[in-house]
């Protein structure tokens, strides 16, 4: 699980061309499905380029159109109620629809980790079972990280608002912010503190896809 410090002027970025990805999802959806299968496999296909990882992650959003979102809410409710079996069942069902859903990957890992702590109730569950899901989340975090540096000029690209929080908290260890504002197509957080992985006072997320989905729901 690789985490790298996000520093301007020291990294190459992979800007996301939303129009091109949408076109690919329309004209050759099977290509995206094949890339998703390779990216979500238990053993990572190291031949996958970052451009292919990006096409898999961002293209998958156009294939599912966020239709798993209602079940995501149910999954979180099960987790809050400490019903780990139902949480895991929900997460796995979501991943059948979208194998790259960050919320479902995180919750599957968290539920299995919690279950592994109670061997009397779940004797067949181990921490190793959770590790697979956590590894998958970091493949996606690494993909988001390559799209920018969090600046206004090079925002990180996401497909869901929850991706922003997952990326900030789990990947960059950023937990406190004083404000959040939508500026153009960017969701901007003013941070109260930095971390060893991110030193800037603000972090920008390109929410083009998030806004597009909202327009579909509320035309």
Predicted local confidence at residue 3, as pLDDT: 41
Are 99 and 132 a contacting pair, CB within 8 Å?
Answer: no
Task: Report, in angstroms and rounded to the nearest whole number, the Rg of the chain calculated over CA atoms.
Answer: 17
Q: Which residues pair with 156 in a beta bridge?
A: 205
Q: What is the pTM of this model?
A: 0.90
Predicted local confidence at residue 11, as pLDDT: 65
Q: Phi and psi dihedrals of 205, rounded to 5?
A: -125, 130
Question: Mean pLDDT, to the nearest integer, of 35-50?
Answer: 92
1 has pLDDT over 50: no
> Which structure tokens are listed for 208?
């083009």
Predicted local confidence at residue 143, as pLDDT: 95
Tell me how far apart the alpha carbons of residues 143 and 157 are, in angstroms, rounded to a whole number.
9
Q: What SS3 string covers the chain? A: CCCCCECCCCCCCCCCCHHHHHHHHHHCHHHHHHHHHHHCCCCCCCCCCHHHHHHHHHHHHHHHCCCCHHHHHHHHHHHHCCCHHHHHHHHHHHHHHCCCCHHHHHHHHHHHHHHHCCCCCCCCCCHHHHHHHHHHHHHHHHHHHCCCCCCCCCCEECCCHHHHHHHHHHHCCCCCEEEEEEECCEEEEEECCCECCECCCEEEEECHHHHHHHHHHCC
pLDDT higher at 5 or 74 = 74
Mean pLDDT of the chain: 92
Q: Which residues pair with 167 in a beta bridge?
A: none
Q: Backbone dihedral region of 82: left (phi > 0), alpha (psi from -120 to 50 degrees) or beta?
A: left
Tell me how far apart the alpha carbons of residues 164 and 150 are, in angstroms, rounded to a whole number.
11
Predicted local confidence at residue 12, as pLDDT: 80
Tell me how far apart the alpha carbons of residues 155 and 96 are, in angstroms, rounded to a whole number.
29
Question: Mean pLDDT, to the nearest integer, of 83-99?
Answer: 96
Question: Mean pLDDT, to the nearest integer, of 130-142?
Answer: 95
- Band of residue 218 on the pLDDT scale cut at 50, 70, 90: confident
- How many CB atoms neighbour CB 64 within 10 A? 17
């Amino acid at each position: 699980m690789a985490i790298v410090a996000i520093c301007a002027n020291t990294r190459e970025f992979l800007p996301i061309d939303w129009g091109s990805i949408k076109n690919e999802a329309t004209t050759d959806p099977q290509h995206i499905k094949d890339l998703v299968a390779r990216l979500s496999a238990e053993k990572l296909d190291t031949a996958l380029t970052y451009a292919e990882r990006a096409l898999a992650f961002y293209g998958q959003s156009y294939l599912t159109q966020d239709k798993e979102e209602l079940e995501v809410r149910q999954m979180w409710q099960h987790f809050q109620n400490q019903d780990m079996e139902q949480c895991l069942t929900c997460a796995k069902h979501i991943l059948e629809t979208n194998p790259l859903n960050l919320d479902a990957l995180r919750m599957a890992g968290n539920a299995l980790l919690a279950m592994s702590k109670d061997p009397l109730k779940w004797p067949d569950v181990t921490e190793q079972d959770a590790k697979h899901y956590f590894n998958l989340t970091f493949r996606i975090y690494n993909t988001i990280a390559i799209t920018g540096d969090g600046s206004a000029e090079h925002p990180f690209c996401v497909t869901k608002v929850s991706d922003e929080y997952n990326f900030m908290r789990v990947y960059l260890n950023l937990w406190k912010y004083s404000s959040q504002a939508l500026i153009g197509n960017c969701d901007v957080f003013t941070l109260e503190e930095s971390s060893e992985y991110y030193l800037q006072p603000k972090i920008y997320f390109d929410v083009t896809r998030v806004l597009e989905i909202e327009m579909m729901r509320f035309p």
